[in-house]
Amino acid sequence: MKHRQSVAMAISSAIVAMVIDAGTKRWAETSLGNAASRGGDLVQLRLSHNTGVAFGLVADHGQLIGLLVPAVLIVLACVIIRSRPGATGWLGVGLLIGGGLANAADRLRDGRVTDFIDVGIAAQRWPTFNFADIFITLGCALLVVDAYRAAARERNRA
């Protein structure tokens, strides 16, 4: 894949991730409101707001985190891009950056992130999350797959 196509893939996937996340958060804010939860036992939709980072860590520092996250993402993207990832890696970079910027934009708006996807069984629940979190996780997984593939190619050359 040519460099220009790779960069276009990363930018496109970042934009798509940001648009999907913003749309679903808007929907959650207007549709879920104060409802206890909607859905079944395994997956529920429950509106909540997180002022911290993943799983509520460093809560009540939303504005500071909102400024630091984009800076960290830019540095991380530069490091990854210099490693010349394959197509899977470029998609991962886009999803990681798109998800991170989507949460950062949400956080800069009012110091918190809108979460609404709640998974678990009965009382055993995972912390509530959103589509940006899904994109960040998927992006990281794709980067790991890409690094594994690159290592395998290197081993085969030797």
Q: Which residues are catalytic?
A: 115, 133
Q: Which contacts (CB < 8 Å, 24+ apart) does range 117-123 have?
A: 117/43, 117/45, 118/37, 118/39, 118/43, 118/44, 118/45, 118/46, 119/42, 119/43, 119/44, 120/42, 121/41, 121/42, 122/41
In one-letter notation, the amino acid at residue 72 is: V
Q: Do 77 and 97 form a contact (C-beta atoms < 8 A)?
A: yes
